[in-house]
Every structure is written in C-alpha cells, then in structure tokens.
Structure 1
Amino acid sequence: MRAPGIVHHGTRRRRAAYRRAVWSAAEVLVTVGVVLLLLVVHQLWWTNREARHGAERKVQALEREWGTPAAGSPTPGAGGGSGAGGSGDGKTAAGGAGGSAGQPSSSGGNGGRIQPRWSQAYAVLSIPRLSLRVPVAEGVSKADVLNKGYVGHYKGTQQPGQAGNFALAGHRNTHGEPFRYLPRLRRGDTITVETRTAVYTYTVDRTLPQTSSRDGGVIRPVPRSTVRPSYGYSQPGYYITLTTCTPEYTSRYRMAVWGKLTAMRPR
C-alpha cells in the first residue's frame, strides 16, 4: 500500500508533459491569432492605402499628360468597394463621341478613336456624390487593374460617349475600394468620364440593388438584367453601367448603377 501524499516520478513527468502541451498549444493559438490579425490589417488597411495612393498618382499623371484638368472636376478623394466580378482582358470596340449636350453622336466627333491597350489607364471617372476620382483602365483583371484601385472597363462594351453601354467594374472593399459607397448614388447624380480629348457627363437613372454574379445582361448594349428582367432598358441609347459586389465583404452577388449620357464637350 502506497503512503499518502507521495508523488512518484512518473506522475511528475506526466504533469510536466501536460503543462508543456498546454503551453505549446497556447503559443500556437497566439501565433495564429497574430498572423490572422496581420492579414486582416493588410487586407483592410494596407491594400486600401497603397491602391488609393497609386490611383491618385495615376490620375495626376493623366492630367499632366493631357494638360490642364477639366473645369469643375472634384478633388481626388477615397471612395470605397470590394470585389467587382470576373476577370477580363483584351481590347474593346473603339469609339469617340460628338454632338451637343443631350444630343450625343457616335460619329467620332472627338477627332480620334479610343483604343486603349490591355490594362492601360486611359480615362478618369469622377462621381461628386462619392467624392470619387479614379483612373479607368482597360479590362477587369484583378491583378492588373482592380487591385490597383482602378475602375476596369469590361471587354466588349462600348467606350465613353459611344452608342451602347460603357460598362465598368470596381472593388467595393479592399484595394482602394472605389465603389464602396455605390449604393449612395441616387437618380439625377452625375458621373463624369474624362479622356484625352473629351469630357462626358452621364446622369444616374436606375439602380439594380442585387443580382447574380453571372447576370451578363446588365452590361449588354441595351442593359437589362436576365435574372430580374424588370430592371433595365428596352431601347438603344448611350448608357454607363457601374458594377460591384454586394453585400459588403462578399462576392456572392452584384449590384449595378445605370446612367445615360447627357452632355459631352471637348477638353
């Protein structure tokens, strides 16, 4: 019979091993927590900081290249948004625009055709309601366009001022999130697109709050949702479409804001 109160070496070793295991597990959990925290900080703060600064520098570079900024342009500022849908590349139909305000023409009145290279920033999108001013680049690749804080032009859609649909995508969260506050747009708000040769003004007309990420109807020449057909248009026109992910911090669905071309003037 063992004497009471005596702890044998085997028991001590088991207790020590148990304490070491608990301590090691705690260290692993703390390390994992720190790594996850750093990843969150990188995604939600660092990528926004870097992308916004890069986008602002690109806007300034385009303005220097074009000359004096267009009168009435808003001051550069941060907008907000994650995840535009899809990835794309290549060139789109070329185009220009002409005509007086309210009577746009697709005859190439700007004296040249817009034919941007893949991932080239070639225009500036301004939305006063959102204090937003960002570059527009060709294609909607995340790595080459959207993650730089730019807004991307969908392959196969029209260029600014052309008859049809000038369709764009932008992140709603992280990487500059230019379209974070897209739901704040209301009918009658203005959207300006500046190129080397002209300034195009679109007026917000309709909003599709939520649709499938595969709803390609929203960027067709006559935009109309194939998932929710009551949203969209039935007649040809001069449209702009802004798309982003919804709800925030997900990429499950898309939302779209549509506008119509209401003015054009040379730079």
Structure 2
Amino acid sequence: MRAPGVVHHGTRRRRAAYRRAVLSGAEVLVTVGVVLLLLVAHQLWWTNRQARHGAERKVQALEREWGTPAPGSDSGAESGGDTGVGSGTGGTGGGDEGAGKGGAGRSGRDSPSGSAVNSSQKRPRWSQAYAVLRIPRLSLRVPVAEGVSKAGVLNKGYVGHYKGTQQPGQAGNFALAGHRNTHGEPFRYLPRLRRGDTITVETKAAVYTYTVDRTLSQTSARDVGVIRPVPRSLVRPSYGYTQPGYYITLTTCTPEYTSRYRMAVWGTLTSMRPR
C-alpha cells in the first residue's frame, strides 16, 4: 500500500513533459502572431511608404524630362487594390448616372472646341511611365504607366493603362487601373469623386482635362464593358454611355481590402492644351 501524498518519479516526468509541451506551443503561437503582425505592417505601411516615395520620384523625373512642371505640380500624392477589369470594374451608381439619362454630354461626343486632340500618339513601351494623373479633389499626383501588371506597374504605386484602350485625348476610352489598398493605394479614395470634379492627364505633348460625370460603385471583376471604347457595364447595362466620345475610366477594387468586385469612375474630355 502506497503512502498518501507520495508522487512517483514517473508522474513528475509526465507533468514536466506536459508543461514543456504547453510552453513550446505557446512560444510557437507567439512567434506566428509576431510574424503575422510584421506581414500586416509590411503590407499596410511599408509597401505604401515605399511605393508612394517611388511614384513621387517618377513624377518629378517626368517633369524634369518635359522641362517645366505644369500648374499644381506641388500637390502631394495622397493615399488612394488589385484593380484590373478582366480581373473587372464597374458597379451601381445613382439614378442620374445611367445611360438613359442623356448618354454622353457634348464634351464626351466631340473634341473640345478649338482643340486639336492628339489621335496618333506613339505607343509607350510595356510598363513605361509616360504620363501624370492629377485629381485635385483627392490631392493625387501619380505616374501613369503602360499595362496593368502588378509587378511592373501597380505594385510600384503607379496607375496602369489598360492595353487596347485609347491614349489620353484620343477618341474612345482612356482606361486606367490603380490599387485601392497597399502599394501606394493611389485609388483608395476614388469613391469621393463627384460629378463635376476634374481629372487632368499630362503627357510630354499636352495636358488633357476630363470632367467626372458618372460612377459605378460595384460590378463584377470581369465586367469588361466598362473599359470598352463606348464604356457601358455588361452587368448593369443602365450604367454607361450610348454614343462614341472622348472618355476616361478609373477602376479599382471594392469593397476596401478585397478584390471581389470593381468600381469605376467615368469622365469626358473637356479641354486640351499643348505643353
């Protein structure tokens, strides 16, 4: 008969092994948690800082190449996902934004009075930054590069030009994509744009001004209709245009921190001036 209160060596060893296992598991969990926090910090802070800095340097380089900065070039780039259409864009909007409410305005159908809109621009090289997009309401100044690849364009904090769409000032649709979150997030505040806001696109040859007049707040990521020459949602056909014109389309992901849907902002060309 064992004496009461006596703990044998085997029991103590099992308890010690159990404590070591618990402590080891806790250490692993803490380590995993720290790594995850570092990854989140890298995505939400470091990629933004790095991309914004690089994008601003590229804007300054383009302005030096062109000779003289355009008015408003002292505006800082403000924070603005994965965005592409065909990976898609578009969405719902207010009732006054549907195509049935008048289609494209005169400035959308016709080139601005007295302006010779460039219709034969040289095609930029793939991933080449060749223009600067400015949106005063968003305090945004960001390079525009050819293509919408993540590594070559979007993750650098640039806005990407959809291959196959028109160049600035040309008849048709000048369509762009930009991240809404991380990597500079130039289009983070795209939903703040309102009808009548201006968007300028500067190239070596000219400065083009577009005026926002329609917004699609959500559509499928594969809604390629919003970047066609006459932009019109294939998912929500009441949103878009019915006549040829001079358009700009800005696309990004929605809701924030997801890439499930796309949104689009449309505008029409209202003025052009040579540099």
Q: TM-score, normalised by structure 1?
A: 0.91
Letter in 1 for 2:18: Y
Asked if 1:128 is matched to 2:127, the reply is no
Q: Which residue of 2 aligns with 1:254?
A: 262
Q: What code does the residue aligned with 1:69 have?
A: P
The residue that corresponds to 1:85 in the other structure is: 84
Alignment of 1:28-107 (within 5 A): 28-73=28-73, 75-80=75-80, 82-85=81-84, 101-102=112-113, 105-106=116-117
Structure 2 counterparts to residues 104-183 of structure 1, below 5 A = 105-106=116-117, 108=119, 113-183=121-191
* Alpha-carbon distance in structure 1 between the residues aligned to 2:172 and 2:111: 18
Mapped partners of 1:120, 1:225: distance in 2: 29
Give the SS at the match of 1:53: helix
TM-aligned CA distance change 1:105 to 1:224, over 3 Å? farther
Deviation at 1:70, TM superposition (A): 1.2
C-alpha deviation, 1:102, in angstroms: 4.3
Shift of 1:208: 0.2
Letter in 1 for 2:78: A
- Which residue among 213, 216, 231 is the counterpart of 2:224? 216
**Out of 202, 206, 209, which is 2:214 matched to?**
206
For 1:243 and 1:52, locate their aligned partners in 2 and report how far apart those are by CA, in whole Å: 19
Gaps of 5+ in 2: 88-109
Letter in 2 for 1:48: N
Normalising by the residue count of structure 2, what TM-score does the alignment of the two structures yield? 0.89
Say whether the 8 Å CA contact 2:118–2:169 is kept in structure 1. no
Residue 77 (structure 1) shift: 2.0
CA distance in 1, matches of 2:177, 2:234: 18
Q: CA–CA distance in 2 between the matches of 1:227 and 1:261?
A: 25
* Runs of at least 5 residues in structure 1 that lack an aligned partner in the other structure: 89-98
> Would the aligned equivalents of 1:138 and 1:155 in 2 still touch at CA under 8 Å?
yes
Higher relative contact order (CA 8 A, sep 6+): 2
Alignment partners' CA distance in 1, 2:113 and 2:137: 21
Aligned to 1:92: none
Per-residue CA deviation, residues 10-30 of structure 1 (Å, 9 max, x unaligned), is 100100000000000000000
Deviation, 1:83, is 1.5
What is the CA–CA distance in structure 2 between the aligned matches of 1:43 and 1:86, rounded to whole Å?
23
* RMSD, aligned CA: 1.7
Q: Residue 176 of structure 1 aligns to which amino acid in structure 2?
A: G
Secondary structure of 1:221's partner?
Answer: coil
Distance, in Å, in 1 between the alignment partners of 2:118 and 2:41 is: 49
Hey, what does 1:185 align to over in structure 2?
193
The alpha-carbon deviation at position 2 of structure 1 amounts to: 1.4
The answer to whether the 8 Å contact 2:55/2:158 transfers is yes
- Say whether residues 1:12 and 2:12 are aligned partners: yes
Structure 1 distance, partners of 2:11, 2:40, is 44
Alignment of structure 1 residues 212-251 onto 2, 5 Å: 212-251=220-259
Q: Does structure 2 retain, via aligned residues, the 8 Å contact 1:103–1:262?
A: no
Structure 1 residues 220, 105: closer, same or farther in 2, change over 3 A? farther
Matches of 1:254 and 1:77, distance apart in 2: 22
- Over the matched positions of the two proteins, sequence identity in percent amounts to 83
Checking the alignment, whether the CA contact within 8 Å between 2:86 and 2:222 is kept in structure 1 is no
Cα distance between partner residues in 2 of 1:170 and 1:124: 13
1:236-266: CA deviation from partner (whole Å, max 9, x where unpaired): 0000000000000000000000000000000
Deviation digits for residues 25-50 of structure 1, max 9, x if unmatched?
00000000000000000000000000
* Alpha-carbon offset, residue 101 of structure 1: 3.9
Deviation at 1:62, TM superposition (A): 0.1
Count how many residue pairs are aligned between Structure 1 and Structure 2: 253
Measure how far apart 1:103 and its partner are: 5.8
